[in-house]
């Protein structure tokens, strides 16, 4: 590909969790000034309307092993397009550095002599529970939260789930729905059966859903999982802050009393 521009550049922009209003002002301005946009599967396409009329927006998403481009191809495209068009905006779901392979892309681009910039995004790990009123930390309840992948590169659950289950931390599990039962069996070994859990899908979008139950009853939640939509699992006493947890607890107490 010809090297025709003076200042080739790649900007990694975190698009936020889904609601297009949850991108940063800086990220939005980058889209407006882009010469070309490459976007991922979980990026809200409403954001693409902010690119200039003549700017191409190219889908390079990877979902459920349906990859239009391999990661190596994406890395190369970033360099080629920067050299051909100028400023490439690489739009990624949530924050590019949270399970987003952002650093791999930056390293590759810079190794080819192309300038790179990172504009942070609001990660789903933080914003999706917050949007449901679930705090990741609460004074006197927990002292940390762990953001863990539920599926490692070999398809297994992460050993960090086992470590996290042994702590009092809130566990926020991304990419874990397909391994939900395996994850819950590990959690059950260390956490009290009444520990609340939530599965939030399509967080911050109009079709957002939440299922809430306890570790002991996790099997009740399996049928409600939509494997075609993104979802996070939250484990920990902070989930009890969600209003529907209280309602379910009241129902349980009432059923038990009569």
Ligand X SMILES: C[S@@+](CC[C@H](N)C(=O)[O-])C[C@H]1O[C@@H](n2cnc3c(N)ncnc32)[C@H](O)[C@@H]1O
Residue 91 pairs in a beta bridge with 13, 39
Is residue 221 part of the annotated active site? The answer reads: no
Q: Toward ligand X, which CB reaches closer, 228 or 257?
A: 228
* Mode of pairing for the β-strands spanning 196-201 and 209-214: antiparallel
Whole-angstrom Cα distance, residue 247 to residue 229? 26
- The residue assigned the tokens 């996290």 is 164
Q: Which residues contact 136 (CB under 8 A, 6 or more apart)?
A: 126, 129, 130, 145, 170, 172, 234, 238
- The residue assigned the tokens 């705090």 is 135
Q: Minimum Å distance from CB 12 to ligand X?
A: 11
Residue 59 pairs in a beta bridge with 39
Is residue 62 part of the annotated active site? The answer reads: yes
Q: Which of 19, 160, 175, 188 is catalytic?
A: 175
Q: Toward ligand X, which CB reaches closer, 75 or 83?
A: 75
Q: Which is nearest to 125 in space by CA: 103, 99, 147? A: 147
Is residue 193 part of the annotated active site? The answer reads: no
Binding flag, residue 157, ligand X (CB under 6 A): no
Transcribe 123-147 into DSSP letters.
-HHHHHHHHTT--S--TTT-S-EEE
Binding flag, residue 202, ligand X (CB under 6 A): yes
Q: Which two tokens stand for residue 70?
A: 């391999």
Binding flag, residue 210, ligand X (CB under 6 A): no
Q: Minimum Å distance from CB 141 to ligand X?
A: 23
Which run of H or E residues covers position 210?
strand 209-214
Binding flag, residue 129, ligand X (CB under 6 A): no
Binding flag, residue 172, ligand X (CB under 6 A): no
Q: Toward ligand X, which CB reaches closer, 55 or 233?
A: 233
What is the footprint of ligand X within residues 15-44 (CB under 6 A)? 17-18, 42
Cβ(181)–Cβ(247) below 8 Å: no
**From candidates 89, 174, 184, 215, binder to ligand X by CB under 6 A:** 174
Binding flag, residue 75, ligand X (CB under 6 A): no
Q: Which of 40, 95, 184, 221 is catalytic?
A: 40
Q: Minimum Å distance from CB 150 to ligand X?
A: 7
Q: Toward ligand X, which CB reaches closer, 8 or 16?
A: 16
Q: Toward ligand X, which CB reaches closer, 55 or 221?
A: 221
Size of the site for ligand X (CB under 6 A): 23
Whole-angstrom Cα distance, residue 68 to residue 52? 24
**Contact footprint for ligand X (CB under 6 A):** 17-18, 42, 93-95, 98-100, 123-125, 128, 174-175, 200-204, 230-232
Active site amino acids: 40, 62, 175
């Amino acid at each position: 590909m010809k090297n025709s521009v003076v200042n080739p550049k790649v900007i990694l922009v975190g698009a936020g969790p889904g609601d297009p209003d949850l991108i940063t002002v800086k990220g939005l301005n980058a889209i407006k000034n882009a010469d070309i946009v490459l976007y991922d599967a979980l990026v809200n396409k409403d954001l693409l309307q902010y690119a200039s009329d003549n700017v191409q927006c190219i889908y390079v998403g990877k979902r459920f092993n349906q990859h239009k481009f391999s990661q190596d191809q994406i890395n190369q495209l970033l360099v080629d397009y920067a050299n051909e068009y100028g400023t490439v905006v690489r739009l990624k779901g949530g924050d590019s550095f949270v399970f987003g392979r952002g650093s791999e892309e930056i390293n590759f681009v810079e190794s080819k002599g192309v300038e790179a910039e990172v504009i942070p995004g609001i990660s789903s790990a933080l914003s999706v529970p917050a949007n449901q009123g679930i705090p990741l930390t609460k004074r006197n309840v927990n002292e940390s939260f762990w953001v863990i992948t539920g599926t490692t590169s070999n398809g297994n659950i992460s050993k960090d789930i086992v470590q996290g289950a042994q702590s009092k931390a809130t566990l926020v599990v991304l990419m874990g729905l397909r391994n939900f039962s395996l994850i819950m069996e590990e959690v059950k070994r260390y956490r009290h059966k009444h520990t609340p859990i939530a599965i939030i899908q399509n967080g911050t979008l109009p079709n957002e859903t939440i299922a809430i139950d306890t570790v002991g009853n996790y099997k009740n939640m399996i049928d409600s999982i939509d494997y075609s939509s993104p979802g996070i699992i939250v484990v920990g006493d902070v989930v009890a802050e969600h209003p529907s947890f209280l309602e379910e607890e009241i129902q349980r107490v009432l059923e038990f009393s009569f």
